[in-house]
Amino acid sequence: MLKIDGVTHWSIPVNDLEESERFYRDLLGLEYRGRLGNSHMTCFHVGGHDILLCERKEKLYRTPQQDNRLHHSFTLSPEEWEKAVRLFHERGVKVEELIYREHGFFTGRELYFLDPSGNLLEVRDPTWKAGMATPALADIVGAGSRPRDAV
């Protein structure tokens, strides 16, 4: 058996590199590290990890159901999690599901959403515990608020 020392990076396939760079940098706030030469890849940094966006040669829009809920998850503070819910609503980001997970390996409140290429992503607030409030999305974003055009 090997002893792995760490993760060098993980990769997310995207359809449009420039559009995805804007989404991950300008909306999610990941640190832009730059393009990798002429490789059609961009490196971002977050939470001690590097993430590569790799532009597909053939555009493909997958659904979470096709990929058995394959997703990437980001941890947020309670305040940033609520900010994310409101920001995604304002920017028209497609939200798939809100879960208040009481049991399991990763407990907390989880918001699942899609990036511009249809990749399922999650923002998670691990501080949420069973017995705490479980407001619906409409309650968090404010009743009557309307989303802007999608990013």
Look at residue 143 in the predicted model and tell me its pLDDT: 54
Look at residue 11 in the predicted model and tell me its pLDDT: 96
- Cα–Cα distance for residue pair 39/35, rounded to 1 Å: 8
Instruction: Specify the DSSP class assigned to residue 134.
Output: -
Query: In the chain, how many H helices and how many E strands?
Result: 3, 8
pTM: 0.87
Mean pLDDT of the chain: 91
Look at residue 115 in the predicted model and tell me its pLDDT: 95
Nearest to 79 by CA among 140, 143, 150: 140
CATH topology of domain 64-151: 2,3-Dihydroxybiphenyl 1,2-Dioxygenase; domain 1 (3.10.180)
Percent of the chain with pLDDT over 90: 77
Domain positions in the chain are 8-55, 64-151
Do the two domains 8-55 and 64-151 of this chain adopt the same fold?
Answer: yes
Q: CA-CA distances (angstroms) from residue 135 to 30, 82, 100, 142?
A: 27, 11, 9, 11
What is the pLDDT averaged over residues 34-52?
A: 95
For residue 133, how many other CB atoms are within 10 A of its CB? 8
Class of domain 8-55: alpha beta
For residue 13, what pLDDT band results from cuts at 50, 70 and 90? very high
